[in-house]
A and B are shown apart, each in its own frame.
Chain A
């Protein structure tokens, strides 16, 4: 078997695996081997496959690196590496630059070190490429709406994008129906409209529609609002079904954080602590500040309430990346609370600075207060 065949075999094996570290490792090995072969074709294919594995395996930084290489290759030699591999409504190969671009724009705002102008230029570059190939801008408007929300831009800017999204036609590059429905559910959450979110999520909650990330993220988005709205039965249902879907993939670090919040709010702080310890490694290793932020928020309130309940210290394994003060695994809850609060503050300050407003820090504080256990 030649090394080039070996690359194809590795990629085929990778694609048969669920998203996660194994799939990622096979893709990385394929990329290295392809580079050794000095064959741009396989190196391109390997990086495209890796972009997908990285996005859905919770390694967006690796997706950005692989994607940037592919964009450069495609721009330099568009004939051999076209940015769209769809012709007359049919895919000729799997994922291409236009399709992956959605994941890239979705994930960029989560890195506080990527600047506002860089994010905006990326979005406009995506738009230009969609237009140049004659495809509907529906996915662009969807990601632009999300970007506005993450970067704390006003509701008007978001509304304009969701209107444009609604009016743009669905074509080959539109997200699957489940993903689009999930987006609509998100827009209700952004306006704190639980009833709207719940009713628009019905086809996803009932399992009628679904895909690789839906209803995983949908259920996680609903669980806290359901509990807050007094809809305890649904909240528990969403948790039971949804946590199972998320607990094995670091791509769902933020979603797991929401379930930890929920379990604590519903009165089981011990269980919440166990879950928190189990997935803390994901947040510790996460490159994207937004994932660490959401997870550390869950830790902040968890240790705050443990401390208030008179639990002075707990035993917990601490990933080596984190400098939480501890005595051989014994943590003082009060100092853990302070540590997580400081981390969150540092991250949201970085986001505020990048965004040029204070929406993220304000939103975070409001949400922390709102997710305190109801008995308090």
Chain B
């Protein structure tokens, strides 16, 4: 008797192959999944049934490649055969297909459908554990199928699917390719998977998956884990950490990368669901800071989203992630006690990830913060070493500010940490909050000047005229002046801008281009509580040029020189010039050249 599908099968296959599945290769996965599900279903009836899957590739009489896929699972009765087909016919909506994923028969039907991507006809011969009739189902891609039954006791319980390669799909029947696909998807299955071609038969799955083995010693377990990692990923690793979580029923191994990964690179984890490969991405299974490991895990409980690249973000996943994260964290902590050298080697490779963890985890932070490396004005060192040399932890939050002050700070042998790198500012802020007895200061260049040496009374008197004129000249630029003694002495002046000043400079910059509405908002914003919007130009009394300038009595020369020193100090500090400062640079240079040519001459040798 011939029946007709209630749907456009071509449309469904297109939907499956183009939307639900990423490549025709999934037909192998779906066949394996059907086999695995059928074997687990049979175990509910016969607890000690071991299960077996056999895949055979051969050429048909017509010279077309053929696949015969056999499982020793629960099999289907005639009624179930109709039921799974009605499932296919039920709806063409992807949502309905997704819901069906929870029920065995529905899932079976959908999985089998994917075979139409590579085969125009599917023949299935099945015998159920519940009844003795052999059911033969033959479906065609045009949407028609036949079902017949017969008695044949020589057919064992289970299901055999026959596929014959569609024109253009020969690649997907290549023995080497099929072999790889089976290993890829089913390599961890706990019962034998045999693969047979003209060249003979072999068993493809890994019998001794380490987390299923009881090892006599820790060393034996470690060696097996490392060997397993090499086999799965084809590379050696720095170390490995066994992963277990009762929630989500997760077992696996995390491998620590032997190189420093880019934090933006996607991690290639191999995630198995009930021992079938689910995904090579699964971003959300591990905490975000765990980007220094790649892992192999199997879960029996978590629910994948439709794309299979992640799991549903529910409480089970959250608890699982916490458990896996705590295994990694525990590993690092125990390394600290058992093998500190190894830990230091690990930190030098993966300090970014460790810092990322320390930001979130208070307890871990306390244990590790002193071991983590920072860039400082005294060279690169761990925070612990830095704290030994410095009573106060001073840091600047950006690489730019650090560049501005590093030279000066080093000349005064003052320790300043460059916290412009990933997580550093967050960590130091946290350090101050967690240890109230330690002094952590976020400084800017103005704080640096507090440590500069003051002039004595006579020197002050000498310099008074310069500072007075300079204050007047720079007033329109919201800049005060001061004069102190500091190293290096070849630096004539330092532009000192705190966070507030930098903010005001960027605000003015936006105001220059903004329309009336935004201009007025920015003006009001600038009008904020106790913001000190004045920057400071600090002259260096030890600088020969500045000394010459002090001795000059030509007010015009002083004015021009101050303007140029101001612009130069801005440029040296990597502060972009605003429009009026740019104008100052342009006219100031011309005036200065003009004045030199007219015979007055600027103080010699000041242009650097």
State the A residues within 8 Å of B (CB). Answer: 12-13, 15-18, 20-22, 24-26, 28-29, 31-32, 35-36, 61-62, 64-66, 68-69, 71-73, 75-76, 108, 111, 113-115, 118, 121-122, 125, 206-208, 210, 248, 277-279, 281, 287, 289, 316-317
- Residues of chain B within 8 A (CB-CB) of A122 are 517, 521
- Residues of chain A within 8 A (CB-CB) of B511 are 68
Most buried by B among A31, A69, A206, A316: A69
Choose one: B314, B420, B421, B524; the contact of A113 (CB below 8 Å).
B524
Using an 8 Å CB-CB cutoff, how does the interface string of B393-408 with A read, 1 for contact, 0 for none?
Answer: 0000111100000000
Choose one: B420, B503, B576; the contact of A26 (CB below 8 Å).
B420
- Residues of chain A within 8 A (CB-CB) of B318 are 207
Q: In the docked arrangement, what's the CA distance between A317 and B430, Å?
A: 14
B510 touches A113 (CB 8 A): no
Q: Confirm or deny: B263 has a beta carbon within 8 angstroms of a beta carbon on chain A.
A: yes
Indicate whether A32 sits within 8 Å of B433 (C-beta atoms), given known contacts A17-B422, A73-B513, A287-B528: no
Q: In the docked arrangement, what's the CA distance between A278 and B423, Å?
A: 18
Indicate whether A317 sits within 8 Å of B420 (C-beta atoms), given known contacts A21-B397, A62-B503: no
Chain B, residue nearest A115 (CB):
B524
Q: In the docked arrangement, what's the CA distance between A68 and B510, Å?
A: 6
Closest CB pairs A-B (n = 9): A21-B425, A35-B576, A25-B398, A72-B513, A69-B510, A68-B518, A278-B433, A16-B264, A68-B510
Q: In the docked arrangement, what's the CA distance between A295 and B145, Å?
A: 71
Q: How large is the interface on B (under 10, 10 to 19, 20 to 34, 35 or more residues)?
A: 35 or more
Q: In the docked arrangement, what's the CA distance between A297 and B531, Å?
A: 23
A32 touches B576 (CB 8 A): yes
- Residues of chain B within 8 A (CB-CB) of A24 are 397
Choose one: B421, B430, B513, B524; the contact of A118 (CB below 8 Å).
B524
Q: In the docked arrangement, what's the CA distance between A281 and B434, Å?
A: 12
Q: In the docked arrangement, what's the CA distance between A163 and B359, Å?
A: 42
A21 touches B518 (CB 8 A): no
A29 touches B420 (CB 8 A): yes
Q: In the docked arrangement, what's the CA distance between A277 and B436, Å?
A: 9
- Residues of chain B within 8 A (CB-CB) of A113 are 524-525, 527-528
Choose one: B397, B529, B574; the contact of A36 (CB below 8 Å).
B574
A72 touches B399 (CB 8 A): no
Chain A, residue nearest B262 (CB):
A16
Indicate whether A72 sits within 8 Å of B314 (C-beta atoms), given known contacts A20-B425, A29-B420: no
Q: Confirm or deny: B360 has a beta carbon within 8 angstroms of a beta carbon on chain A.
A: yes
- Residues of chain A within 8 A (CB-CB) of B558 are none
B517 touches A121 (CB 8 A): yes
Q: Confirm or deny: B7 has a beta carbon within 8 angstroms of a beta carbon on chain A.
A: no
Query: Which residues 503-531 of B sit at the A interface, judged by CB distance below 8 A?
Result: 503, 506-507, 509-511, 513-515, 517-518, 520-522, 524-525, 527-529
Choose one: B397, B424, B510; the contact of A65 (CB below 8 Å).
B510
How distant is A335 from chain B, measured CB to nearest CB, in Å? 20
How distant is A298 from chain B, measured CB to nearest CB, in Å? 16
How distant is A27 from chain B, measured CB to nearest CB, in Å? 10
Choose one: B263, B399, B425; the contact of A29 (CB below 8 Å).
B399
How distant is A178 from chain B, measured CB to nearest CB, in Å? 11
Q: Confirm or deny: B426 has a beta carbon within 8 angstroms of a beta carbon on chain A.
A: yes
A111 touches B510 (CB 8 A): no
Q: In the docked arrangement, what's the CA distance between A309 and B511, Å?
A: 51
- Residues of chain B within 8 A (CB-CB) of A13 are 263-264, 422
B513 touches A22 (CB 8 A): no
B520 touches A118 (CB 8 A): yes
How distant is B154 from chain A, measured CB to nearest CB, in Å? 52
Q: Confirm or deny: B453 has a beta carbon within 8 angstroms of a beta carbon on chain A.
A: no
State the B residues within 8 Å of A (CB). Answer: 263-264, 288, 313-315, 318, 356, 359-360, 397-400, 419-426, 429-430, 432-434, 436, 502-503, 506-507, 509-511, 513-515, 517-518, 520-522, 524-525, 527-529, 574-576
Q: In the docked arrangement, what's the CA distance between A229 and B521, Å?
A: 41
A114 touches B525 (CB 8 A): yes
Indicate whether A25 sits within 8 Å of B397 (C-beta atoms), given known contacts A62-B503, A73-B513: yes
Choose one: B510, B528, B529; the contact of A72 (CB below 8 Å).
B510
A69 touches B420 (CB 8 A): no
A and B contact pairs by CB, cutoff 8 A, 28 listed: A12-B264, A16-B422, A18-B288, A20-B425, A21-B397, A21-B429, A22-B422, A22-B426, A25-B419, A25-B420, A26-B420, A32-B576, A61-B528, A65-B510, A68-B514, A69-B509, A72-B515, A108-B521, A113-B524, A114-B525, A115-B524, A118-B517, A118-B524, A122-B521, A208-B314, A248-B359, A278-B433, A287-B528
> 7 more A-B contacts (CB under 8 A) besides A25-B397, A25-B399, A71-B514?
A12-B264, A16-B264, A29-B399, A68-B522, A114-B521, A122-B517, A207-B315
Chain A, residue nearest B576 (CB):
A35
- Residues of chain A within 8 A (CB-CB) of B315 are 206-207
- Residues of chain A within 8 A (CB-CB) of B507 are 65
How distant is B452 from chain A, measured CB to nearest CB, in Å? 20
Q: In the docked arrangement, what's the CA distance between A316 and B419, Å?
A: 26
- Residues of chain B within 8 A (CB-CB) of A121 are 517
Q: In the docked arrangement, what's the CA distance between A113 and B531, Å?
A: 13
B522 touches A207 (CB 8 A): no
- Residues of chain B within 8 A (CB-CB) of A210 are 313
Q: In the docked arrangement, what's the CA distance between A20 and B399, Å?
A: 16
Chain B, residue nearest A22 (CB):
B425
Choose one: A22, A75, A287; the contact of B424 (CB below 8 Å).
A22
Q: In the docked arrangement, what's the CA distance between A287 and B510, Å?
A: 18
Q: In the docked arrangement, what's the CA distance between A13 and B421, Å?
A: 9
Q: In the docked arrangement, what's the CA distance between A20 and B397, Å?
A: 11
Q: In the docked arrangement, what's the CA distance between A317 and B524, Å?
A: 32
How distant is B394 from chain A, measured CB to nearest CB, in Å? 14
- Residues of chain B within 8 A (CB-CB) of A17 are 263, 422-423
Indicate whether A207 sits within 8 Å of B525 (C-beta atoms), given known contacts A22-B421, A68-B510, A279-B433: no
Q: In the docked arrangement, what's the CA distance between A65 and B512, Å?
A: 11
